[in-house]
Amino acid sequence: MTVFSLRRVRLRPGEEHREAVELELDPLELGGQRYLPVPAAVEAGLVVTRAVTGTVFTLSFATRLHGPCFRCLADAALDIPIHAREYQASDPEDEELTTPYLVDGGLDLSAWARDAIALALPEKILCRPDCAGLCPVCGKNLNEEPHEHAEEATDPRWAALEALRERE
């Protein structure tokens, strides 16, 4: 876990502190699957800016996630650039004016990075944009072995319902 101590940063309104930090990234669990950041530690740019009413935190880095494709379960790699911003009011009257990443005078960069990565992910992580997925009948990878199955004969017990559908 990477925590940046804010006790050593003394800023007046309008001033900013820039620092390169080594950021430890934890694996991400998504849809029951595990996605690993490669490498597990990246260099990130942290900017702390003091405003009149509070403090603005900016975190920038790039990472690559490796894990299974949502459609075919083959290996997928996804490059993710992150540029995240958080605000902490000096005298917060509302919960929305606080950041959950401030803990005991430190900024939890690992938790912030994990959440920023999760928000930057696409709806489906695919091995390639035109991934065909797995065959619903036999389970073979349709990217490697495209095929079709003959239509199965319907159960004769459903014949009466089929006749009703054909009347419409």
Instruction: Extract the runs of DSSP E, i.e. beta strands, from 69-131.
Output: 75-89, 102-103, 106-108
Residue 79, pLDDT score: 94
> Look-up: residue for tokens 């009703």?
164
pLDDT of residue 48: 93
Residues in contact with 30: Cβ distance below 8 Å, sequence separation at least 6, in sequence order: 67, 118, 121, 125
Residue identified by tokens 């849809």 is 31
Is residue 158 predicted with pLDDT exceeding 90? no
**What rounded mean pLDDT belongs to the chain?**
90
Q: What is the pLDDT of residue 35?
A: 95
* DSSP letter assigned to residue 141: B
List, for residues 2-22, the tens digit of each pLDDT value: 888 888 888 888 889 999 999
pLDDT above 90 (res 125) = yes
* Residue type, position 130, single letter: D
- Residue range 76-100: average pLDDT? 89
State the Cα–Cα distance between residues 89 and 100, nearest whole angstrom: 12
H/E segment holding residue 165: helix 159-167
Q: Residue 154: pLDDT above 80?
A: no
Gap between the terminal Cα atoms of the chain: 63
Rounded-to-integer distance, Cα 99 and Cα 152, Å: 57
Residue 161 has pLDDT above 80, yes or no: yes
DSSP state of 158: G
For position 117, what pLDDT does the model report?
Answer: 95
Using CA atoms, how far apart are residues 136 and 141, in angstroms rounded to an integer? 10
What per-residue confidence (pLDDT) applies to 73?
A: 92
Whole-number percent of the chain with pLDDT over 90:
58
Looking at residue 67, its pLDDT comes to 95
Which of 133, 107, 120 lies closest to 5, judged by CA?
Answer: 107
Average pLDDT over residues 28-53: 92
